[in-house]
Amino acid sequence: MNYLIKNATGILASSTIKTTSQFQSKSESAPCDIRISQGLISEIGQGLELINNETLIDATNCVIYPGLINTHHHLAQSVLKGIPAGLNSGLGDWLAAVPYRFWPNIDAQLMYDTATLGLAELLRSGATTCCDHHYLYHESVSPEVEEAVWQAATDIGMRLVLCRGGATSIGSHKGLKGGGIQPETVEQMIKRLDDSRSRYHQADANAMRRLVVAPTSLIHSTKAEDLKALAAYARRHSLKMHSHLLEVDFDERQSRLLHGTSAVQYAEECGWLGEDVWFAHLVKASAQDIDLFAKTRTSISHCPTSNCRLGSGVAPVIAMENSGMNITLGVDGSASAENASMIQELNLAWLLHRSIHGPEATSAEQIVKWGSQNAAKLLGLDAIGEIKVGKAADVVLFDMSHYRYWGNHSQTLAPVIAGEPVEVKTVLVNGRMIVNNGEIKGIDLDKTQSSLIQGLVRLKEKVGNF
């Protein structure tokens, strides 16, 4: 279906602001219409007219953003929010008390429902692409658990980059140590990766499905020889690579104790730096680490809400960007960032670094670029990330009619600078409408809620009280 979006208050396009403010007359230079043909943005302008049986989308009182791209999530955690045992814990104790206590008992149906919930949460905050760091793997795991994540993304209509996690050793991982989990062998992991690659992975720049090689932890639960084998597999098949690193000081201490070198130097020795690699967190990265990341063109998924929630600290992303690193944003798992909102991450990233470095440290336009264009570049999804003629139509209409926006003179920037709550009116992914007038078209939320409740009863029977 082809669409004509008309009368937007503003369009955030190609990292520049072109806006029509409600407080002044419309400018001839401020586009407010977007034509979408065969899934692509074919025209951006003002006063465009309907042609060729297009469907009209009225964007009055809306601002239009490129679909946001979440580069680090754990969808399995969407039903593990606010677990009392982990509310006031740091990362290590939290891992044992929350995700690694529950995840071995998450069955395929509950995984489908929790993935649906997590994707819906992202969608309502303006995200159209999710990189899910899915680590629910062990020696005897059912393939249906992973399949449930792919299916949920298909049903809801979002782009999914499945970062295939897992471990080949219990090692020094605090969550695995207390979980009674038997890890995979590296041979099992690669065999299962290859099965998923052959079934789901799409290599083109407009892919709806991507697979990433993503052992859960480089330092704590994957042997050096296994990391090298996984890196070789990834590069043989042109797959991206992802993991956690330097979220807390424990990573650096254990790397020096176990491997006799810094965490980042160890990653380099194992083949885990490069323009095809990105790490979540990097809170404790030193100046020397940043230099090496920049030299190798390694990227970051900055997760400010989770890092604040767990008391991990603030990643030095201003220094990273100044060094030439590519900065992207992730919401992390809902068990450590309970609202799973990309707008929350944009807003907090905008504020947090200004509080440390001063008001010129970040701009709203810069933060949107982190959450869209930079992420698309990282993932090799060159068809998305911008509102630009020729790009795929991943677009989000934020409804600005609520009275909380009436006094905001920067209407196009308001979703970022005003933060949550936001109201998403319409979302298109690859030119397909998946949210219409605030309603997600591909799912029955009442049915999802009922199924989730049943799944949580099953989980409680296996694990005990939450």
| pLDDT attached to residue 465 | 77
Higher pLDDT, 15 or 407: 407
> Which of 16-20, 41-45, 54-58, 285-289 bottoms out in mean pLDDT, i.e. has the lowest?
16-20
Nearest to 325 by CA among 367, 368, 292: 292
| pLDDT attached to residue 303 | 97
149/111 Cα distance (integer angstroms)? 7
Nearest to 158 by CA among 128, 133, 202, 134: 128
CATH of 3-66+386-440, one of 1.25.40.10, 3.40.630.180, 2.30.40.10, 3.40.630.40: 2.30.40.10
Determine the average pLDDT of the residues in 411-418: 96
Rg of the Cα trace of the chain? 22
| pLDDT attached to residue 335 | 83
Higher pLDDT, 119 or 173: 119
153/460 Cα distance (integer angstroms)? 26
Q: pLDDT, tens digit, for every residue of 164-184?
A: 999 998 766 555 656 667 889
> Which of 68-82, 158-172, 184-198, 378-392 bottoms out in mean pLDDT, i.e. has the lowest?
158-172
CA angle, corner 385, sides to 426 and 123, nearest 5?
Answer: 35
Please name the residues in contact with 243: beta carbons below 8 A apart, sequence gap of 6 or more. 214, 215, 216, 217, 218, 272, 279, 280
> Which of 30-34, 171-175, 303-307, 380-384 bottoms out in mean pLDDT, i.e. has the lowest?
171-175
Q: pLDDT tier at 25 (50, 70, 90 boundaries)? A: very low
**CA 379 centroid distance within chain:** 11
Is this prediction's pTM over 0.85?
yes
Sign of torsion, CA 122 126 131 133?
Answer: negative
Under DSSP, the state recorded for 14 is T
218/262 Cα distance (integer angstroms)? 12
245/270 Cα distance (integer angstroms)? 14
- Whether the Cβ atoms of residue 294 and residue 322 lie closer than 8 Å to each other: no
Answer yes or no: is pLDDT of 19 > 60.
Answer: no
Quickly name the fold that domain 68-379 has. TIM Barrel (3.20.20)
Q: pLDDT tier at 128 (50, 70, 90 boundaries)? A: very high
Provide φ and ψ at 249, rounded to 5°. Answer: -65, -25
Domain residue extents for the chain? 3-66+386-440, 68-379
Q: Across all residues in the chain, what is the average pLDDT? A: 93
Answer yes or no: is pLDDT of 186 > 80.
Answer: yes
Nearest to 211 by CA among 144, 163, 146, 155: 163
Answer yes or no: is pLDDT of 101 > 90.
Answer: no
119/397 Cα distance (integer angstroms)? 17
| pLDDT attached to residue 22 | 40
Q: pLDDT tier at 27 (50, 70, 90 boundaries)? A: very low
Token pair in block for residue 22: 């409600």
| pLDDT attached to residue 18 | 47
| pLDDT attached to residue 296 | 98
**CA 235 centroid distance within chain:** 22
Q: pLDDT, tens digit, for every residue of 200-254?
A: 999 999 999 999 999 999 998 899 999 999 999 999 999 999 999 999 999 999 9
> What percentage of the chain exceeds 70 in pLDDT?
94
Determine the average pLDDT of the residues in 373-381: 98
Q: pLDDT, tens digit, for every residue of 317-351?
A: 999 999 999 999 999 988 888 889 999 999 999 99
Please name the residues in contact with 188: beta carbons below 8 A apart, sequence gap of 6 or more. 139
DSSP 54-98: PEEEE-TTEEEEEPEEEEEE-GGGGG-TT-GGGTT--HHHHHHHT
